[in-house]
Amino acid sequence: MAFRECRVAERVEWAPGLVTLTLDATLDPHEPGQFVNLALDLDGERVKRAYSLANAPGTPAQLYLVSVAGGRLSPRLAALAPGDPLLADPRPHGFFLPSDVPAPREVWLLATGTGLGPYLAMLRAGRLIEQHHAVVLVHSVREAAHLGHRAELEGLASTSARFRYVPIVTRAPAAGVLRGRMQTLLASGGLESRAGLTLAPERSHVMLCGNPAMLADVGEALAARGLVKHRRRSPGHVTTEAYW
pLDDT at 102: 80
CA distances to 55, 66, 222 from 198, in Å: 29, 32, 12
CATH 3.40.50.80 in the chain is located at: 98-242
- SS3 of 17-83: CEEEEEEECCCCCCCCCCEEEEEEEECCEEEEEEEECCCCCCCCCEEEEECCCCCCCHHHHHCCCCC
CATH architecture of 4-88: Beta Barrel (2.40)
Q: How far apart are CA 147 and CA 166, in angstroms?
A: 11
- Flag residues of the chain having pLDDT under 70: 1, 244
| Class of 98-242 in CATH | alpha beta
Q: Is 89 left (phi over 0), alpha (psi -120 to 50) or beta?
A: beta
Residues of the chain with CATH 2.40.30.10: 4-88
- Residue from 110, 140, 67 nearest 209 by CA: 110
Q: What is the pLDDT of residue 244?
A: 66
Q: What is the pTM of this model?
A: 0.96
Give tens-digit pLDDT for 74-105: 999 999 999 999 999 999 999 999 988 887 78
Decide if 40 contacts 87 (C-beta within 8 A): yes
Q: Look at residue 168 in the predicted model and tell me its pLDDT.
A: 98
Strands (E), the chain: 4-15, 18-24, 35-42, 45-52, 62-66, 85-88, 106-112, 134-141, 163-169, 178-179, 204-210, 238-242
In the prediction, which pLDDT does 29 show? Answer: 96
* Predicted local confidence at residue 37, as pLDDT: 97
Specify the DSSP element, H or E, that contains 130: helix 127-131
